[in-house]
A and B are shown apart, each in its own frame.
Chain A
Amino acid sequence: QLQLQESGPGLVKPSETLSLTCTVSGGSVSSSNNYWAWIRQPPGKGLEWIGSFYHSGNTYYNPSLKSRVTISLDTSKNQFSLKLSSVTAADTAVFYCARGDTALVSSYYFDSWGQGTLVTVSS
């Protein structure tokens, strides 16, 4: 049973860098059948894709966040991480890590999600 668990500070000051880690159990971040992603949800609002990382090294970021986002894998710890720089109050959200499946051509979806972690940007 795959499980994903987000961890990191729940409070970040404006202009600082938000850092989160997703620990994967019951599966491997090295799998070529999957990719790994971060998605966020501001309070009371919808879902916003942040970025996706393939084990091949190919990384894709939301164009609206690209200049501030870095996603990386740590295969030795079976984790992947998110860094979002220069945060403002608008970045306050529940952040989810998720696994994507590559089984179907032209089909890019997330088949497993972490429980989410609320990050508040405030001084």
Chain B
Amino acid sequence: QSVLTQPPSVSGAPGQRVTISCTGSSSNIGAGFDVHWYQQLPGTAPKLLIYGNINRPSGIPDRFSGSKSGTSASLAIAGLQAEDEATYYCQSFDNSLSANWVFGGGTKLTVL
């Protein structure tokens, strides 16, 4: 059971827009800690996609965008492409017990 809750899977056709939700609580996202997103292509290490809720590292296309509100956050992918098929993880910080970096369970994106 992950501290952050994500849907197990989402899907969309090429060119469409999809969103992935990430729900936390008052001890992590709701406490003001930022949400970050990672993309993990099959058989590879995770890669930072969005940091600080809305920021894209250099080289990440602007098709990827993030948002945060209350105890939840979302990742949006516009103009879906075949190479976007991957698992996406949200991550934040939780102060309920001790310093604790926490991840969502991951969402598998299928491009139809």
* Contacts from A to B (Cβ < 8 Å): 37, 46-49, 52, 60, 62-63, 96, 101, 104, 106-116
A62–B93 Cα gap in the complex (Å)? 12
A109 x B34 contact (CB < 8 A): yes
Chain A to chain B: the 5 pairs with minimum beta-carbon distance, closest first: A60-B99, A109-B36, A107-B34, A49-B101, A108-B93
- Whether the pair A49, B47 counts as a contact (CB closer than 8 A) is no
Which A residues are in CB contact (< 8 Å) with B89?
46-47
Nearest A-chain residue to B6, judged by Cβ: A46
In the bound assembly, the distance between CA atoms of A109 and B57 in angstroms comes to 12
Which residue of chain A has its CB nearest to the CB of B33? A106
CA gap between A88 and B48 in the complex, in Å:
30
Question: By the criterion CB–CB under 8 Å, are B98 and A63 in contact?
Answer: yes
Using Cβ atoms and an 8 Å threshold, which residues of chain B touch A49?
100-103
Q: Is B15 an interface residue (CB 8 A)?
A: no
Indicate if the CB atoms of B101 and A52 lie closer than 8 Å. yes
Inter-subunit contact A62/B52 (CB<8 Å): no
